[in-house]
Structure 1
Amino acid sequence: MNREPDFADDFRGSGLSPQRWVDHYLPHWTTPDRSRARYDLDAHGLRLRIDADQPDWRPEDAPLRVSNIQTGSHAGTHRHRPDGLEIRTATATELLWAPSAGRVEVTVSASLDENCMLAAWLVGTEHLSARDAGEICLFEIDASAVTAEATVARSGIKAHADDRLTTDMAEVTIPFSAAAPHTWTAAWGPDGTVIGCEGRVVRKLPQAPGYPLFLLIDLFEIGPPSGSYPKTARVHRVRGWS
């Protein structure tokens, strides 16, 4: 982009900006003690944590713990499970950054901790229609898929409840360790979606959601507690253009 971003954060302030981020993972589907992110900030950016005493996101999904930041909230966003999701916490609609088309850059260092996954994705807000549920998945990186020489990630589009889209996810290999800082990008609009990593195009798709999307960045622990804590990943910088 040849202009300044509409949304930018390098996490160098004294705290997480409430004008940019909600520090809960899909808080409407669970309770605040379960959705609240564990994190800290330092000179290297934001460190997402899974702590030893952190509860599962929902009892029904155990074992699954998550620390997440997202660029807004709406009661109903991402109804991604067919097995009884219900609104448990009243959540105001906050559209802090929710572009319908544009570009985003996310610079991260993935986790190497057992059973962890770092992910970044754009998902339909659904505040206009429950049909607006599609997702652009920049990456899902399992700690077990990171080596010193290469990393395997999953990337693409998930349709969810949007019958105008087709789920198209694929594994991509990047030729370096994702535990080091690196930048993922997504550009989307009427001509489709392009996902890249460190200047390389990793997915080019002829489809894109055409409605407001929230950005979510999250560290998951998928599996029973094990190993040492905290388990961590870093978010160094985010920039976005609407």
Structure 2
Amino acid sequence: MTFEALPAPPTQAPDLADDFTDPVLREDRWIDHYLPHWSTPERSRARYALDGDGLLLRIDEDQPDWRPEDAPLRVSNIQTGNFSGTAGTTRGTHRHRPDGLAVRTPDTTRLLWTPSAGRVDVTVTAPADPGGMLAVWLVGSEHLSPRDSGEICVFEIDAEAVGDRTTTARIGIKAHHDDRLRTDMTEVSVPVDAAGPHTWTAIWGPGGTVIGCEGVVVGRFAQAPDYPMILMVDLFETGGRSVSGRYPRTARIHRVRGWTGA
């Protein structure tokens, strides 16, 4: 298969740049909780390490499920913003569960990097232990309107889909509660071993959305959300506890670069 080359990154300095070389996670760039308003702090808090070679997201053996209702589902995540309404309401970023989420832990609105159009490059190493999934999403903040809920799925990679020479990933657009969008998801096979470092790209704006991997285009979509978007990087344990008994499950985030309005 022949792939089209991605556009080169912008020449100007990125608005979001992190190699995760600081000794602590930058609070001016990241929130280390997965959608904390729908859960409680001990359940939404990420497990991770900064070890000089990037950010190592972990799922630990003693880590609780994100919500008891969703068990088994454990998550370690970092994100560039968050919004929630008051306790008991249904207002908040990423109303993605079909069972009717309600705010449990009201959170201050934090918009650290939330472009309405732009480009993001994320270099990652995916998990290898079956039952794990690594994902990168751009999701509508919803702080201006609950319609602003669409998602750009930059990729979702199941550990079982990682091969020595090719990896299968899910990419595309999810409308969620935005009736101006339509869900358009697809699976792509990319010629990379995702168990090693590789870079995914999303470019979105008035002309639509382009998703790339390792410098080539792997998907084009003729639509794009046009409201503030939050970058989320997530490691999930979706299939219950590891049958091998090995913990922690891990995935590494080597580098993030983001340009607003690029």
Please indicate, yes or no, whether the TM-score normalized by the shorter chain is above 0.5: yes
Q: CA deviation at 1:223?
A: 1.9
2:251 matched to which residue of 1? 233
Matches within 5 A, 1:1-242: 1-75=10-84, 76-226=92-242, 227=244, 228-242=246-260
Task: Tell me the secondary structure at the aligned position of residue 69 of structure 2.
Answer: helix
Aligned residues: 242
The unaligned stretches of length 5 or more in structure 1 are none
SS where residue 3 of structure 1 aligns?
coil
The TM-score, its normalising length taken from structure 1, stands at 0.99
- Letter of the structure 1 residue corresponding to residue 147 of structure 2: R
Measure, in 2, the Cα distance between the counterparts of 1:241 and 1:56: 34
- In the TM superposition, residue 84 of structure 1 has moved relative to its aligned partner by 2.5
What SS does structure 1 have at the residue aligned with 2:181? Answer: coil
CA distance in 2, matches of 1:169, 1:82: 18
Q: Measure, in 2, the Cα distance between the counterparts of 1:213 and 1:130.
A: 13
Indicate conservation of the 8 Å contact 2:192/2:198, yes or no. Answer: no
Q: How far 1:82 sits from its partner (Å)?
A: 2.6
Structure 2 runs not aligned, ≥5 long: 1-9, 85-91
Q: In structure 2, what is the Cα distance between the partners aligned to 1:177 and 1:28?
A: 35
Residues of 1 paired with 2:250 and 2:173: CA distance? 26
C-alpha distance in 2 between matches for 1:2 and 1:187: 15
Sequence identity (%) = 68
CA–CA distance in 2 between the matches of 1:77 and 1:224?
26
**Structure 1 counterpart of 2:88:** none
C-alpha deviation, 1:232, in angstroms = 0.1
Please identify which structure carries the higher strand content.
1
